[in-house]
A = this chain, B = another copy of it.
Amino acid sequence: MGKQMKTAITPTREEDYPEWYQQVVKASDLAENSPVRGCMVIKPWGYAVWEKIVANLDRMFKETGVKNAYFPLFIPLRFLQKEAKHVEGFATECAVVTHHRLEKGPDGNLVPAGELTEPLIVRPTSETIIGDSFSRWVSSYRDLPILLNQWANVVRWEMRPRVFLRTAEFLWQEGHTVHATSEEAYERTEMMLNVYADFVEEFLAMPVLRGAKSPAERFPGAVDTLCIEAMMQDRKALQAGTSHFLGQNFAVASEIKFQSAEGKEEYAWTTSWGASTRLMGGLIMVHSDDDGLVLPPRIAPAQVVLMPIIKKEETRQAVMDYTNSLADELRALDFHGEKLSVEIDDKDKPGRAWDWIKKGVPIRVEIGPRDMEKNAVFMGRRDTPGHKKESMDRSDFVAKVVDMLDDMTQKLFQKALDHRTEYTEKVDGKDAFYKYFTPKNAEKPEMHGGFALSHWCGEMECEEKIKQDLAVTIRLIPFDAEEEAGECICCGKPSKKRVVFAKSY
């Protein structure tokens, strides 16, 4: 065995991937667990990344004509009752509010009081409460389409919470639209999926597959669920956004009816689509390394951090002046329609550079008296092996920094794509399929094959068996899957196309 390089994160991805993930979240100061089971605290650095995600997705939604609104946090029990009648597989792990007061009990301790006549559910998703408004807002085809989105917190009681990936409370956006025709609603479903895919690929540098879910994996009540799926470094899939074509199911449950141009009363066609703080988990798992977080430049709260080196008090002023003027120059640069974001860290303490490496800042710049003399900067890219730095002429650095950042984005994307390509295989036959998903080393469950492109007969029983046996599910039926005769890897019956099977988060 060769000498091990010391890494900032212990354990490494190789040693223990799930624990590595937790340690990256901690070392990069993105978030932490809270004293409330399953709820996280998103720390300033993590929230700043989320703000970038929100700002850009929000702009992209609005460009398609969507407007934001806000609906109540609470859903009356009778609404879910109504939905439960119409929707098979309705989720029931949720937070239930039963009282509206705290009172001092006989022992002086606070106890719940003021029982509600009807319990309220903290929204796990808002189809029912938004549907109630829609039913009042829609009466004629002239009122359609309605294209709304809300940024909100939602709660789903999670038995095995994991920061960002699966938390009881999470932040998300949920889009809800109403249309006069099935065609228009389906078009919107596809349009929003493409917004997600474009955003995730361009901003998070995360390559995704686009496709439809199999019936077993659909959102309860949806006629069709479209999704994007990305491969993490442990070869598991992460669903990064879903867009649901709800047909008339929710319109029937919520009584969303309209008078058509021909004067007929019809149920409307609805869609819903969402992306959440889970994206943060995906971002971490796709790009980060054994030294911490790696942030794609367009989503980094700061693209560049400047670290003045102040060895002697007498040079402080000069070094700070040089740093500030460089910061001004950089902040004037356009970076994809915004100004470049530059942080100055003048806390000259040991480990400062490593802190920024762990936090994933794309470019670090050190500025000391020697750099000033040469009118230079000493810079390092987060994606350079060994975090080697190089001296660059100051004006050269300013001229090239945007290109360097775009080069990084491109390389991060390509690396993730290469990884996915390497661990995606056409797998035929039951034995090969079971072997593909069986890790050679039981202690390293991440060492299974990756994504399997395999034939499936279309039967839910086969899906279920694969899930029971291997904890593997159909992630999606790719839009671009070619027609090809084959045999279901589970039952051997004829199949016309390959679907993507994988383990997943």
* Bound CA span A169–B36, Å: 21
Given A35-B132, A36-B76, A81-B110, A94 contacting B98 (CB threshold 8 A): no
A161 to chain B, nearest CB (A): 12
A34 CB contacts on chain B under 8 angstroms:
71-72, 129, 132-133
A41 CB contacts on chain B under 8 angstroms:
69-72, 133
Given A97-B97, A100-B93, A74 contacting B42 (CB threshold 8 A): no
A122 CB contacts on chain B under 8 angstroms:
73, 97, 122
Q: Say whether A153 faces chain B, with CB atoms less than 8 Å apart.
A: yes
Nearest to A80 among chain B residues (CB) is: B110
Q: Say whether A44 faces chain B, with CB atoms less than 8 Å apart.
A: yes
Given A35-B132, A122-B122, A40 contacting B72 (CB threshold 8 A): yes
Q: Say whether A162 faces chain B, with CB atoms less than 8 Å apart.
A: no
Chain A window 58-81, contacts with chain B (Cβ cutoff 8 Å), 1 for yes, 0 for no: 000000000111111111110111
Nearest to A50 among chain B residues (CB) is: B70
A451 to chain B, nearest CB (A): 33
A152 CB contacts on chain B under 8 angstroms:
153
A390 to chain B, nearest CB (A): 31
A69 to chain B, nearest CB (A): 5
Please tell me which one of the listed residues B75, B92, B102, B129 contacts residue A121 in the complex, with CB atoms under 8 A apart. Answer: B102
Q: Say whether A476 faces chain B, with CB atoms less than 8 Å apart.
A: no
The answer to whether A98 and B98 touch across the interface, beta carbons within 8 angstroms, is yes
* Bound CA span A148–B47, Å: 11
Q: Say whether A328 faces chain B, with CB atoms less than 8 Å apart.
A: no
* Residues from 291 to 314 in A contacting B, C-beta threshold 8 Å: none
A154 to chain B, nearest CB (A): 10
A104 CB contacts on chain B under 8 angstroms:
84
A69 CB contacts on chain B under 8 angstroms:
41-44, 46-47
Q: Say whether A157 faces chain B, with CB atoms less than 8 Å apart.
A: yes
Nearest to A94 among chain B residues (CB) is: B102
A119 CB contacts on chain B under 8 angstroms:
99, 112
Q: Say whether A48 faces chain B, with CB atoms less than 8 Å apart.
A: yes
Q: Say whether A155 faces chain B, with CB atoms less than 8 Å apart.
A: yes
Q: A36-B74, A42-B70, A51-B68 are in contact. List 8 more A-B contacts (CB 8 A).
A: A39-B72, A39-B73, A44-B68, A48-B68, A74-B169, A94-B102, A96-B98, A102-B121
Residues in chain A within 8 A of chain B (CB atoms):
32, 34-36, 39-44, 46-48, 50-51, 67-77, 79-81, 84, 92-104, 109-110, 112, 114, 119-122, 129, 132-133, 148, 152-153, 155, 157, 169, 171
